[in-house]
Amino acid sequence: MNKTRILIADDHMLMRMGISALVTSTKDMEIVGEAKNGRQAVELANSLKPNVIIMDLMMPEMLGSEATKAIHDAHPEIKIVILTTFGTSVELAKAVTNGAVGILLKDKVDMDLVNTIRFVVEGNQVIPTRLLEQIEQDKALSNLTDRQLEVLASVAQGQSNSDIAKQFGLSEITIKKHLSAIFERLGVANRSEAVALALRKQMLKT
Amino acid sequence: MRYVCFLSLVLTFVSAVVADEQELHSFAEINAFIEDATPRSASFELTGKVLSTSPLPETREIILSDSSGERLQLFRLLKLSQPQPGDTIMAFGIANISKNHEPYICMNDFKVIEHGPAPEPLAIRLSEMNASAHHLALVRTEGVVIDTFPDEIDRRYMILLLKDKKVVVPVSIARDAFCDRSDLVDATIRVTGIYRRTVSSVRKFAWPNITPRSPEDIEVITPPPKDPFSAPPIEKRLYLTSEEIAQMSKRSVVGEVLATWAGDRAMLRTEDGQIVNIKLAHGEALPRCGETVVAAGQPETDLFRINLTAARWKTAADAPRAKTEESAASVSTAFWDNNGLKSINGQIHGALLRVRGIVRTLPATDNTNDLRFTLDTGDMSFSVDVTSNPEIIDTLQIGCTVQVIGRCILLTDDGRQNYGSAKIKGIALIARSPADVVVLNRPSWWTMTRLTVVISLLLAALVGVYIWNRVLQNLVNRRGRELYREQVAHAVAEFKTDERTRLAVELHDSLSQALSGVACHMAVGAEAFDTDPKTARHYLATARKMLNSCRTELRQCLFDLRSDTLEEQDFSTAIRKTLGQLETSASIAIRFNVPRQRLKDTTAHAILAIVRELTGNAIRHGNATEVKIAGCIEPGRILFSVKDNGCGFDPEKCDGPIQGHFGLEGIRNRLEKLDGTFTIDSTPGDGTKATISIPLPSSQRQENS
């Protein structure tokens, strides 16, 4: 019987060691590779073609959500399970949108890892229901376009509409339109609320 | 000799001084004194005969005359008794000329020298009296009383106008003494009194008058006729001189009242068309227009017609029946062309004229005896008298267009000023009733000036509102920008202050993951406990080592937090503090030229951990006795190195995963997170140099530059 091939992508060594220990102790799974960042994860996924990837969200060089998209687009058959400290974040929602089929909390990794892997191999989705609602909410948040994120970042720096317009070479009216779209998407009433929300949800790189 | 000279000098001096106080002894002297009206006073001592005293004792007046006929008016002190006319007295007192050049002769004392009969008055005709010859003389004269009225200046007196031929002189009688003698009107009387030229201190220039002393001084020669209107009618003869007319006695006239004005004037038209102006006697009411009345008064003339003055009237018993419908003629009939100059047609007097014009002036005073307004036809101005119909004024406004139908009167002067050359000064219109003045058009409230003023005010208001609007807008915009800038800055600042929190979160996160790793190992160990104790032991041992690493890290963190290492403004001191944990005797040189503010908390913590690890390695494993730590800032990055003189090591070999998060793998891990680079230069026996570069993110550069 073929063992399930697992690729671990996590930047924290002790976590990798822990997962590795768990997987190795089973009879039906094996570790085929360890990636320390998102770029490595994509490379190893391409070369090793594992069955399941345990993907951490916050990794240098490429975020887990982006790596998920890249891998899922290229190899939709690979099941990607997200490893996360918190159950709610924009990145988590993004990853789920990009094709992740399971969510694993780091707190519960020793208890849930093996079962989660087995479930997703069978084709199930392992996403806790309460997370689903919040993911839906956060999906809306994550739907800001890159341009909109840039505009929002400029707003967070305290620039006025005319400054932002100059910066992007657009007219002030366009900027205003962007902003109203952003406010609507985020469900906020004004600039400061938008900035506060974005910072809180770590949507901006400061 | 010298004494004499001196004495005479003194005497002259004394007399000069004393001579200021004159002593007047004769009437001539006193009259000369009064003539020379310079303000001064002098004492007097006179002898004279009392001609008269004032009719009212409180006036204290005495008229004295001397043997040469000179006369004087004195005022006695109140306490003195009153001398009698006819007494010869010696009077003493002070003659005073006031600053206003008014004489006042005050008698302080008198002595009756002898009593005598009442002085004989001078019998003289009114026309022969003149002020220069007869001032203060006791006169007796005759005349007709043509009018009586109260003296407006001094209400204690009443005036009887006495006329003889053409001369009219007022006789002033004290009411308390004489009672009201208006019954004397039209009577011929003989009156004895003092003829004088000044009356009171208020009127400085006055008509001469006669003041009788007591009621006995007035004698009625001919009582007034029973019928005051029985006078003969006005002469129809033309071309009488004003002298001849003035000599005429009372005359009467019957006519229709065409107009009344000025409170005491009326215009009558006789049956045969003659127009007579009447000035009513005091107290007479005005007749009504249209009434036919008979009036009687003293004839006088302005050289244009005969008028009556001091007239009285009564309704005519037999009034002519059919009044001819009179239509108003156009005002142009009042004028005729005299080679281009407009002249007034004298025939117009008494005619009914119709004029249309604009009201230019309204009566300024409330003098109810003189209410006139000015009518401007464009060519000329007319005065319109509405004294008899004062309610007309209330309907008028300056600027109204009105049509006036009025009786025309010629305004003339009587030529007395011009020696017989009487002039027509103009024409005035008299409104007979309120229906005579019809307002055709009220002036529009809008005059050119008002219009321009209102428009400019509106414009100014508009401009003002616009400016205010802009100012407000600017204010609002500015405030809005300020506010939102504040808000954004606040949000960002709030987040920035959480930098420390972020560090804490990161540390906890790292610890949490480490513990998860430990949990995984323990889970596996527990699983394999029964079936594969060797594997179980291995995993549990690993778990233990991992826990130890966690505890070491925790200890370091707690130390840093407790000793405020991260608060240290001088980063070299912070490094030294944290290395103090190592408790080593090795010498450590630190030269870290990076200002603490330029580092984020997480970066600072990472640097401290890296330096701690490298130094610890050097001392523990490399047996180094000297460690040099140097750091500096370069554009865009922080560069630092840890150099030791230890035994060196093989970088490939020291990658012990057992060291877990720490050790070189741990350092690499941290640096990966920070996007930094790490190079180790080491040869066994030759010490080790580790070089680390950490980029400064652009935002940090921005906020700190």
Q: What CATH number corresponds to the domain at position B661?
A: 3.30.565.10
Does one domain contain both B204 and B97?
no
The pLDDT of residue B700 is above 50: no
Q: What is the DSSP letter of A120?
A: H
Of B484, B523, B546, the CB nearest to A110: B523
Number of inter-chain CB pairs under 8 A, A vs B: 115
Half-sphere exposure of B423 (CA within 13 A, CB side): 7
User: Final residue of a domain: which of B159, B189, B222?
Assistant: B222
Measured between CA atoms, the residue of chain B closest to residue A155 is B488
Is residue B28 assigned to a domain? yes
* Among B residues 154-173, those touching chain A with beta carbons less than 8 Å apart: none
Helix ranges (H only) for B144-248 are: 175-178, 242-247
Is residue B97 assigned to a domain? yes
Per-residue pLDDT tens digits for B569-620: 888 989 998 888 787 888 889 998 888 888 888 888 889 989 988 888 888 8
Top-confidence residue, B305 or B702: B305
Facing residues of B41 across strands? B96
Chain A contact for B665 (CB, 8 A cutoff) = yes
Chain A contact for B323 (CB, 8 A cutoff) = no
Does one domain contain both B136 and B109?
no
The pLDDT of residue B58 is above 90: no
Top-confidence residue, B446 or A21: A21
Tokens describing residue B590 = 């630190």
- Contacts for A7 with CB less than 8 Å, ≥ 6 apart: A31, A32, A33, A34, A35, A41, A44, A45, A48, A50, A52, A53, A54
**Most distant CA pair in chain B, distance:** 182
Where in the sequence is the domain holding B597, given as residue range(s)? 563-704
* pLDDT for residue B258: 87
* Average pLDDT score, chain B: 83
Facing residues of B308 across strands? B278, B299
* pLDDT for residue B196: 86
Is residue B291 assigned to a domain? no
| Mean pLDDT (whole number) for B405-412 | 85
Measured between CA atoms, the residue of chain B closest to residue A206 is B699
Is residue B457 assigned to a domain? no
* pLDDT for residue B504: 79
- H/E element, B182: none
- Contacts for B682 with CB less than 8 Å, ≥ 6 apart: B648, B649, B650, B651, B688, B689
Beta-carbon separation of A11 and B546 below 8 A: no
| Mean pLDDT (whole number) for B345-370 | 83
Q: Of B342, B323, B319, whose CA–CA distance to B331 is shortest? A: B342
- Give per-residue burial for B485-501: e unless 16+ CB within 10 Å, then b: eebbbebbeebbeeeee
Is residue B293 assigned to a domain? no
The pLDDT of residue B322 is above 60: no
Confidence class of residue B26 from pLDDT cuts 50, 70 and 90?
Answer: confident
Per-residue pLDDT tens digits for B664-690: 777 887 888 888 898 888 777 778 888
* pLDDT for residue B661: 42
Torsion over CA: B395, B401, B407, B409 (sign): positive
- Contacts for A44 with CB less than 8 Å, ≥ 6 apart: A7, A9, A33, A35, A50
Half-sphere exposure of A38 (CA within 13 A, CB side): 20
The Cβ of residue B356 has, within 10 Å, a number of other Cβ atoms equal to 16
- Contacts for B391 with CB less than 8 Å, ≥ 6 apart: B434
The pLDDT of residue B35 is above 90: no
Is residue B275 assigned to a domain? no
Tokens describing residue B607 = 């640097």
Q: Of B22, B32, B82, whose CA–CA distance to B57 is shortest? A: B82
Which structural domains are found in chain A, ordered by start? 4-137 (3.40.50.2300), 144-200 (1.10.10.10)
Chain A contact for B676 (CB, 8 A cutoff) = no
* pLDDT for residue B585: 82
Is residue B483 assigned to a domain? no
Torsion of CA B468, B472, B475, B479, to 10 degrees: 170
Total domains, chain B: 4
* Average pLDDT score, chain A: 85
Chain A contact for B593 (CB, 8 A cutoff) = no
Does one domain contain both B42 and B128?
no
Per-residue pLDDT tens digits for B460-489: 999 999 999 999 999 999 999 888 888 888
Contact (Cβ atoms closer than 8 angstroms) between residue B115 and residue B84: yes
- Compute the nearest-CA separation of A168 from chain B (Å): 19
Chain A residues inside the 8 Å CB shell of B523: 22, 110-111
| Mean pLDDT (whole number) for B130-146 | 88
**DSSP one-letter string for B25-41:** -SHHHHHHHHHS--S-E
Q: How far apart are CA A157 and CA A195, in angstroms?
A: 9
Determine how β-strand B218-222 pairs with β-strand B188-196.
antiparallel
Q: Is B147 helix (H, G, I), strand (E, B) or coil?
A: strand
Per-residue pLDDT tens digits for B280-295: 988 888 888 888 899 9
Q: How far apart are CA B323 and CA B269, in angstroms?
A: 12
Q: How far apart are CA B469 and CA B465, in angstroms?
A: 6
How are strands ordered across the β-sheet holding B637-644? B587-593, B626-634, B637-644, B688-695, B677-682
| Mean pLDDT (whole number) for B320-326 | 62
Q: How far apart are CA B312 and CA B224, in angstroms?
A: 14
Q: How far apart are CA B403 and CA B394, in angstroms?
A: 16
Beta-carbon separation of A110 and B527 below 8 A: no
Chain A residues inside the 8 Å CB shell of B528: 25
The pLDDT of residue B701 is above 50: no
Does one domain contain both B79 and B205?
no
Q: Where residue B177 sits, what CATH number does that domain have?
A: 2.40.50.140
Q: Is B5 helix (H, G, I), strand (E, B) or coil?
A: helix
Strand ranges, E, within B414-486: 423-430, 437-441
Contact (Cβ atoms closer than 8 angstroms) between residue A56 and residue A11: yes
Chain A residues inside the 8 Å CB shell of B661: 12-14
What percentage of chain B has pLDDT greater than the value 90? 14
Does one domain contain both B142 and B97?
no
| Mean pLDDT (whole number) for B401-430 | 80
Does one domain contain both B631 and B660?
yes
* pLDDT for residue B616: 85
Q: Given the structure tokens 């215009």, which residue do they identify? A: B267
User: Final residue of a domain: which of B161, B194, B222?
Assistant: B222
pTM: 0.48
Q: How far apart are CA B619 and CA B617, in angstroms?
A: 5
Q: What is the CA radius of gyration of chain B?
A: 65
Residues of chain A with pLDDT under 50: 206
- Give per-residue burial for B447-457: e unless 16+ CB within 10 Å, then b: eeeeeeeeeee
Q: Given the structure tokens 């003493």, which residue do they identify? A: B92
- Compute the nearest-CA separation of B668 from chain A (Å): 11
Does one domain contain both B78 and B136?
no
Measured between CA atoms, the residue of chain B closest to residue A204 is B492
User: Final residue of a domain: which of B195, B222, B249?
Assistant: B222
Residues of chain A with a CB closer than 8 angstroms to some CB in chain B: 11-19, 21-22, 24-25, 36-37, 60-61, 85, 106-107, 109-111, 113, 155-158, 160, 190-192, 195-196, 199-200, 206
Q: How far apart are CA B675 and CA B669, in angstroms?
A: 10
Q: Is B131 helix (H, G, I), strand (E, B) or coil?
A: helix
* pLDDT for residue B15: 55
Torsion over CA: B147, B152, B157, B163 (sign): negative
The pLDDT of residue B234 is above 60: yes
* pLDDT for residue A69: 93
Does one domain contain both B140 and B102?
no
Q: ipTM, 2 decimals?
A: 0.72
Beta-carbon separation of A17 and B513 below 8 A: no
Q: How far apart are CA B166 and CA B185, in angstroms?
A: 17
Beta-carbon separation of B657 and A13 below 8 A: yes
Beta-carbon separation of B521 and A21 below 8 A: yes
Q: Of B263, B322, B262, whose CA–CA distance to B292 is shortest? A: B322
Facing residues of A68 across strands? none
Q: Of B618, B604, B611, B704, whose CA–CA distance to B666 is shortest? A: B611
Q: Is B366 helix (H, G, I), strand (E, B) or coil?
A: coil
Does one domain contain both B335 and B429?
yes
Determine how β-strand A79-84 pairs with β-strand A102-105.
parallel
Confidence class of residue B500 from pLDDT cuts 50, 70 and 90?
Answer: confident
Measured between CA atoms, the residue of chain B closest to residue A17 is B517
- Compute the nearest-CA separation of A98 from chain B (Å): 24
| Mean pLDDT (whole number) for B108-137 | 88
Chain A contact for B683 (CB, 8 A cutoff) = no
* pLDDT for residue A35: 93
Is residue B488 assigned to a domain? no
Q: Is B393 helix (H, G, I), strand (E, B) or coil?
A: helix
In this structure, of B93-107, B386-400, B517-531, B651-665, the range with the lowest mean pLDDT score is B651-665
The pLDDT of residue B190 is above 70: yes
The Cβ of residue A29 has, within 10 Å, a number of other Cβ atoms equal to 21
Q: Of B335, B339, B422, B414, whose CA–CA distance to B382 is shortest? A: B335
Does one domain contain both B666 and B569?
yes
Does one domain contain both B345 and B430?
yes
Determine how β-strand B329-330 pairs with β-strand B335-338.
unpaired
Beta-carbon separation of A106 and B512 below 8 A: yes
Does one domain contain both B102 and B155?
no
Top-confidence residue, A157 or B188: B188
